[in-house]
Each structure stands twice: as structure tokens, then as C-alpha cells.
Amino acid sequence: MNELSIFPIGTSINQSGHLAIAGYDLVELANQYGTPLYIYDGATVKSQIERLNQLLKGYYPGEALLAYASKAYLSFQFARKLARWGIGLDVVSLGEIRIAQKAAFPPSVVHLHGNNKSEAELQAAMDWGIQAIVVDNLEELEILEQMAAQRQQRVRIWLRITPDLSVNTHPHIQTAHAESKFGFHLENGEADDALQHVLSSPWFEVSGLHTHLGSQIFETEPYRMAIEMLCEFSARNNYIPPEISPGGGWGVRYTPTDPDDDAEQWVRTVSGAIQEAAIRYDWPYPRLVLEPGRWLVARAGVAVYRAGSQKTTPTGSRLVAIDGGLADNPRVALYQARYIARVVERPLEAPTQTVRIVGKFCESGDILIPQVNLPPLKRGEHLVVPVAGAYQLSMASNYNYAARPTVLWLEDGEIEVLQQREQPDQSGWLVSE
């Protein structure tokens, strides 16, 4: 498989032989904006959104809504674009709610997740009148019911149902197994109790059911099974769900050898399973709410680093250190995510060395790529890591007082700064007097 196929769609090799995105030379961008530098290709995000919307139109006969899982990457500028494009949003915190409000999302397309929502988060969601608060557990149900009664306000909710299914992905990104911290479990009957309770409460409008299996999933069968279980559960409780969300989680290719990641089989399966249930139980088609995060933004983003110190260990490993790592990309340390890298200045040069790319942070586990074949790198040259658009910036930290990086958006011949590099002396997080 061609390596460029996992880079943003606007990637090319320019006349200087450098890697370019949307016509911009990455060496020049790195020199101008500094590194680590994160770059999003607008055309790729738009094309992913269009693809999913088209697939939903083609496969699902009822109404459908694409709701971006904002935990994958969110900033105010990016949220404004999403709102303009008319897609929905899955938020999980007061911070994400505030960004969605400021970006002018209509509340009718925003839903709130979380296994331990604070009263302030529940309150903000109720004040704003969002599409649904996704109730996660019995304690939250009680608190929300009390709050609704106190406010004399009926609240629109979904229930998050955990079908106790294990899927084939890293344990840290599974969410629907019997040990999961998320949702009402089917296996022990708590989901049935919860549904009966909310249906009989005057304070709840139960507008839908939700389940999310996990992330980086390439198999459709768990989705089909989960939807079947969700609908059977609904039917046995005499509940006809106006909305059903099978979550997000469809995988993306981080390396050229990963499985095909086109979303067609995913959308076909979830649409088919919901349609079948609607026919079986004689329901009108529920609104299908898909919640992808990674699939919409991962491929659109790249990370550009500057190569620094290099050494060969006594055991013969060749190490190349870059000026980022664990602080801007904790995915490798969290769940052994795999990446490739290319030399920005010489992407076509044949690799002659196997090296380990390590970060600059004070952890031995700060390894970005355990093994990658590259041409010999000179200090000051740049490495680009593709598929960097999801769960990197949003999980970035200030470890070792690192500043979170600049984020650029390239589209239609224009560069937009989505986020400025943090400045320790300006933003107040280094010293507050």
C-alpha cells in the first residue's frame, strides 16, 4: 500500500523534493512556526465528513446525524468550522460545552457524555437545553432527577447501555465489556431497571439509547450484535427509541499495512441492523446518530518535529531524539500506538538505517516509534508523523513544562492558526503571583 495514502489527501512532494501539504512546504512551515508543529489539511476533514454523510444517505432510509466526538480534537476555531458545516457534537465536559456554545452550535445537535458528570456540567447542559444528556449510571440518574425536580424542568436524556461485549482492540480503548466503567450493563439487569425508572418518571423525556464499543475497531460484527441487543432490550421494555446511537469507534490506518479503513462496511452494518430491528418490532425508523471522532480527523493531521541528539547504544540500537514526544502524543505510552515517520526534506530517499525515534521528555517510555527505517538524519532536519489528528493534541500535557504546540489549518491556499504555541511567561501556567 502506498505510504502517502495514510497522509492527508493534500500531500505532495514539491519541486524542492520536500513534503508539502495543500501546497505548503513543511520545511518552510516548520521554520516559520517552530516545532513541534501540528498541521491539519482542511480538505481531508471535509472529505471524511462528506464521505460519512453520503454513506448515511445511501444506506439509512431514516434521518441520520453525524455528531463529532470532540474528545478526538477540539479547539474554538475548529469548533466554529464544524458548527458551520452543520454537524452535531458529542461533548464530555464543561470546557467542551463552553466551546460548543461559543462556536454557536445549536443545542439541538449537542449531547453530553461522561461517567462522572459534575452538577455544574449537568446544570450547564440543562440550562442550554441540549439534544440529550446521556445518563451513564444509577447515581447520576438520581442526581439528575433531583435537579430536574428542583428546577421543575423536564430533561431530555439518552441512556448509555453497556452490552458487555468485548471487541478486538487495545484493552484501554474498549468501553462496552462487562468490566467497563461506562454505562448501564445489560448482563445484570441494571439497564432494564434504569429504563423502567426513567420511562415512569415525570422528569425525563427518554429520547434515545446509546452504546459505544470502543475505539480503533475494524470489525462490523460487534456493531451488529450491539445494535441487536440494544433493540431487543428496548422492545422487551416496551420502549420505542426515537434516536439510536451506536457510538463511534471505526478504526483508521496508522501504518500502510493496517486494514482498509473505509467506513462503508461500518455504515452499511449499523444502518442495516437498525433497519432490521425497526422492521422486526414495527417501529418508525429511529434517528441514527453516529459519533465518530478519530475517523473524521486522524488522517487530516500530521505532526512535524525537529531531529536533535542521536546516539548508538552499547546494544547497537540507533536512537534519534526529536523535540516533542510524550507531552504532545501520549498514545504510544498509553496503548502502544504504532506510527511511521518520514524525513520532510528527503521523503523519497531510500532508507538505510533502522532507528528508534525517542522524545525529549524525562521518561524512558517516551518512545514515539520503536523501530522505523529512515535515511540517515542530520540534526535540524525534520520528521513528519502522519495520522496525528486524533487523540494527540487533545491528550497533550505540559509534562516537563512543555508548551502545547502550534496548530495550523491549511485550506484553499490559506494558513490559519487554530492554536498558538503556549507561552509559559504569557499564559500564566508557569508562575502565578
Ligand X SMILES: Cc1ncc(COP(=O)(O)O)c(C=O)c1O
Q: Which residues bind ligand X (CB under 6 A)?
A: 69, 71-72, 90, 113, 175, 212, 215, 247-249, 291-295
Whole-angstrom Cα distance, residue 89 to residue 106?
10
Is omega for the bond preceding 386 within 30 degrees of 0, making it cis? no
> What are the DSSP E strand ranges found in 262-396?
287-290, 301-312, 318-322, 342-343, 353-358, 367-374, 382-385
- The least distance separating ligand X from the CB of residue 136, rounded to whole angstroms, comes to 10
- The least distance separating ligand X from the CB of residue 217, rounded to whole angstroms, comes to 8
Looking from the CA of 246 toward its CB, the CA atoms found within 13 Å total: 27
Grid cell at residue 278: 425497526
Grid cell at residue 414: 490559506
Question: Which residues, including other chains, have CB under 8 Å from residue 98's CB and lie 6 or more apart?
Answer: 124
Specify the residue, 36 or 247, whose C-beta has the smaller distance to ligand X. 247
- The least distance separating ligand X from the CB of residue 195, rounded to whole angstroms, comes to 19
Whole-angstrom Cα distance, residue 433 to residue 425?
12
Helices 190-200 and 138-151: angle between axes, nearest 10 degrees: 10
- The least distance separating ligand X from the CB of residue 163, rounded to whole angstroms, comes to 14
Helices 76-84 and 94-102: angle between axes, nearest 10 degrees: 60
- The least distance separating ligand X from the CB of residue 248, rounded to whole angstroms, comes to 3
Specify the residue, 219 or 422, whose C-beta has the smaller distance to ligand X. 219
Specify the residue, 26 or 173, whose C-beta has the smaller distance to ligand X. 173
- The least distance separating ligand X from the CB of residue 199, rounded to whole angstroms, comes to 23
What's the gap between Cα 402 and its chain centre?
23
Q: Which residue numbers are catalytic?
A: 362
Specify the residue, 151 or 172, whose C-beta has the smaller distance to ligand X. 172
- The least distance separating ligand X from the CB of residue 63, rounded to whole angstroms, comes to 19
CA dist 278 → 181, 240, 242, 285, 287 (Å) = 29, 9, 11, 6, 11
Whole-angstrom Cα distance, residue 374 to residue 388?
19
- For residue 334, which of 363, 291, 372, 301 has the smallest C-alpha distance? 363
Specify the residue, 295 or 409, whose C-beta has the smaller distance to ligand X. 295
Over its C-alpha atoms, the chain yields an Rg (Å, rounded) of: 23
Specify the residue, 210 or 346, whose C-beta has the smaller distance to ligand X. 210
- Write the DSSP symbol of residue 107: G
Specify the residue, 90 or 261, whose C-beta has the smaller distance to ligand X. 90
Indicate the SS3 state at residue 314: coil
- For residue 115, which of 138, 132, 145, 88 has the smallest C-alpha distance? 138
